Amino acid sequence: MSYKSSVKKEIEQYDNRKYAAYSKNSSEESKKPKNAKGTALRFFGLLKPHALPMFFVCAFAIGSTLVNIITPEYMADVINLLDESIKNKITTGNNIDFAPIIKQLLMLSGVYFFSSLLSFGQSFVSAGISQKLVCSVRAQVNEKLSRLPLRYFDKKTKGEIISTIMNDIENLSGSLQNSMLTVVTGLVQVVGSLVMMLRTGNWLMTTLAIFLVPVTGFISYRISIISKKWFRRYWDTLGSMNGHIEEMYAGHNIVRIFGHEQRSVEEFRQINSNLCRNAFMANMTSGLLAPILTFVKNLNYVLLCIVGGAYYIANHLFTTGGAVQSKYPFMATFISTIMKSSNNMGLGDIQAFLTQSSNFSSPIINISKIINNIQSSLACAERVFNLLDEEEQAADVTDNEPTELASGHIEFRDVSFRYVEDRPLIDGLNLTAQPGNLIAIVGPTGAGKTTIVNLLMRFYDIQGGQILLDGTDIYTMSRDALRRNFGMVLQDTWLFKGTIRDNIAYGKPDATDEEIRAAAEAANISEFIDSLPDGYNTMLAEDGTNLSQGQRQLLTIARAVLADPPVLILDEATSSVDTRTELKIQLAMKNLMKGRTSFVIAHRLSTIKSADNILVMRKGHIVEQGTHKELLAADGFYALLYNSQYTEGIPPEDDE
């Protein structure tokens, strides 16, 4: 197998492993926490700084719930007074005395008003806690990200990190807090309503109300099993859809070149059809929970109304001297049975019991509905906590904190490094770069070219050896002090939304207009900038997409020129531009490298002929080094690499 084929196969296998892992995480693990109890306890730990406001939130919520529990008793008194007044009017002919009724209604209105104040206080304080919690956790996550090593960002996609910062934290503070509060107030309401129903001494109606609990639990359990299966299929299919869209639109040029548009459209239609079907079934099955539970609740309410009505009839309409009078024998038997357990409940008492039964059943149904939301919220919280628990990069040691920039003398002494513990990559690397030298690093993919740069910048920590800057071990100085000595121009340009002036001055915010213009002239882009209507005040789109690739690259070079570092790291950036722009970039890079120690990761070997030293890397080792002429004369691996760029052959990575 050729080197090119082996690399292609390795990349495909890596992508397949990564996508499989992504699909698994999206479909199963992301929706359910692995340690729900531990996550919930840790979430409550986040609320400790807000303990006093949370106390008031819980107090307001519980107070409002308790008030709602006792209001049916006031309403019962009103109805009983009306009922007695009407009966008295019928039997005696006296006028109805509305004074006690009005007094009771005023008291009821005051109770409702007090309940509204408590609810408002709960919402007001809770909203403040929620936003403070969001700000606090986002700040913790942002600070954590600044302390994480580069390997964390290598194993996580940008989308995952952004989703954690935005969506997961928002869900953590909103849904989880509200869900927990719903459970707490729901339990208070269930217990309070149950106590109020038991106070009536009506065992039959209380038993009917309590019977709703096991029925609701059974229905919720059965429906959750079915809906979970369909939601898992939905998330699997959604992962396939995202992968297909990203693949097709990222490589739309290749799709068109090979005429695969129709095949791509058909594949999209098939995935989209499966996604719609799975989404429909998932939402339909989960959506059944609310109407079924509501139907059961209403059915239970109807039964309670029948029994309550029978009580009222038995106590007030169908009794004469203790005997039941009815022309329907079965009705007489039913009412007689009711009378044996009757405690002479009035019309208002029955209405109050029905209200309490509704207060008892509603929280149970609400808690059943939000169980999935709680699990999803805990899963979001767990992802946030996992990020906060990630191993941080080693702390800075500032034994030798230089106050001035270095001259650019760099030395690697017997450096060893590996990304994976049991897979050595660089072993015993020795390298010296004198100030002002141009050091080119060449080699096949995976040889360790970029790794040397990452080690020099302390993006990764070495496992053995030393790296010295002007004779000082870089691990005895802070990362900030070290990186002030370096400037980087990478193949992938990075520009932010703002003016051209701001982008050039990114590495030196206090730069004057003259310094910015001089940097642009050194980068051979001042003429283009002056031709723009707004000149240096021209606004760039996000990532500079309103400029060409070559223009973006020249701006990054101008940014490095303005920073004026003693050491440069250049990842040759001329592979995707035209010949004329390539010459301009090469000239700008030549101006940039004057008087500086420069490390160039070379892809086109023809561009490094003038390098002071060329390092030829293979499998993490420097197998050859010297000038261009010396290496060609040696007719070794470098010569094979160089000649392969002008022939059809690709040098094999294996020794054979």
> What is the pLDDT at residue 315?
64
The one-letter amino acid at 33:
P
Q: % helix / strand / coil in the chain, to the nearest 5?
A: 65, 10, 25
What CATH homologous superfamily does 436-449+483-644 map to? P-loop containing nucleotide triphosphate hydrolases (3.40.50.300)
> What is the pLDDT at residue 467?
92
Question: Residues of the chain with pLDDT > 70: what percent?
Answer: 82
Quote the CA–CA distance of 636 and 648 in Å, as a whole number. 18
Quote the CA–CA distance of 450 and 459 in Å, as a whole number. 11
Binned at pLDDT 50, 70 and 90, residue 177 comes out as: low
Quote the CA–CA distance of 47 and 465 in Å, as a whole number. 46
Question: Residues of the chain with pLDDT > 90: what percent?
Answer: 2
Would you call 7 helix, strand, or coil by DSSP? helix
Q: How far is CA 279 from CA 239, 343, 396, 640, in A?
A: 13, 53, 50, 56
Quote the CA–CA distance of 502 and 536 in Å, as a whole number. 9
Quote the CA–CA distance of 230 and 278 in Å, as a whole number. 6
Whether residue 505 has pLDDT greater than 60: yes
pLDDT in tens, 198-229: 877 677 788 888 887 788 778 877 877 787 77
* Helix (H) or strand (E) segment spanning residue 164: none
Q: Which is higher by pLDDT, 531 or 447?
A: 531
> What is the pLDDT at residue 311?
72
DSSP conformational letter for 280: H
**Averaged pLDDT, 393-405:** 77
> What is the pLDDT at residue 239?
67
Between strands 567-571 and 486-489, the pairing is: parallel
Quote the CA–CA distance of 86 and 95 in Å, as a whole number. 9
Other CB atoms within a 10 A radius of the CB of residue 505 amount to 23
pLDDT in tens, 509-532: 888 989 999 888 888 888 889 888
Residue with tokens 């890397």: 617
Quote the CA–CA distance of 437 and 596 in Å, as a whole number. 7
**Residue whose C-alpha is closest to residue 605's, from 571, 587, 628, 623:** 628
Binned at pLDDT 50, 70 and 90, residue 466 comes out as: very high
Whether residue 343 has pLDDT greater than 50: yes
> What is the pLDDT at residue 174?
64
**Averaged pLDDT, 120-127:** 83
> What is the pLDDT at residue 234?
79
Say if residue 588 is exposed, middle or buried (CB neighbours under 10 Å; 0-12, 13-18, 19+): buried
Whether residue 314 has pLDDT greater than 80: no
DSSP conformational letter for 49: G
Residues of the chain with CATH 3.40.50.300: 436-449+483-644
- Among 23-32, 101-110, 390-399, 451-460, which is the least confidently predicted range? 23-32
* Helix (H) or strand (E) segment spanning residue 596: none
Say if residue 277 is exposed, middle or buried (CB neighbours under 10 Å; 0-12, 13-18, 19+): middle
> What is the pLDDT at residue 1?
41
Question: What would the two tokens of residue 127 be?
Answer: 């909203």
pTM tops 0.75? no
Residues of the chain with CATH 1.20.1560.10: 29-200+362-393
Other CB atoms within a 10 A radius of the CB of residue 634 amount to 13
Phi first, then psi: give them for residue 473, nearest 5 degrees: -60, 125
Helices 177-199 and 51-92 meet at what angle, rounded to 10? 30
Helices 203-210 and 289-316 meet at what angle, rounded to 10? 170
Other CB atoms within a 10 A radius of the CB of residue 389 amount to 10
The one-letter amino acid at 86:
I
Binned at pLDDT 50, 70 and 90, residue 15 comes out as: very low
Binned at pLDDT 50, 70 and 90, residue 576 comes out as: low
Burial 404-442 (b: 16+ CB within 10 A, else e): eebbbbbbbeebebbeeeeeebbbebebebeebbbbbbb
CATH number assigned to the domain with residue range 29-200+362-393, chosen from the 4 options 3.30.70.1400, 1.20.1560.10, 3.40.50.2300, 1.20.1090.10: 1.20.1560.10
Would you call 469 helix, strand, or coil by DSSP? strand
Say if residue 196 is exposed, middle or buried (CB neighbours under 10 Å; 0-12, 13-18, 19+): buried
Binned at pLDDT 50, 70 and 90, residue 407 comes out as: confident
Whether residue 302 has pLDDT greater than 80: yes
Helices 99-147 and 177-199 meet at what angle, rounded to 10? 150
* Helix (H) or strand (E) segment spanning residue 91: helix 51-92
Is the Cβ–Cβ distance between 417 and 426 less than 8 Å? Answer: yes
Is the Cβ–Cβ distance between 261 and 319 less than 8 Å? Answer: no
Q: Which is higher by pLDDT, 165 or 414?
A: 414
Per DSSP, helices labelled H in 148-176 are 150-155, 158-163, 169-171
Say if residue 356 is exposed, middle or buried (CB neighbours under 10 Å; 0-12, 13-18, 19+): buried
> What is the pLDDT at residue 432?
87
> What is the pLDDT at residue 128?
82
Most confident of the following: 188-197, 399-408, 497-506, 585-594: 497-506
**Averaged pLDDT, 89-118:** 80
Residue 629: CA atoms inside 13 Å, Cβ hemisphere, count?
A: 2
Positive or negative CA dihedral for 491, 492, 496, 500? positive
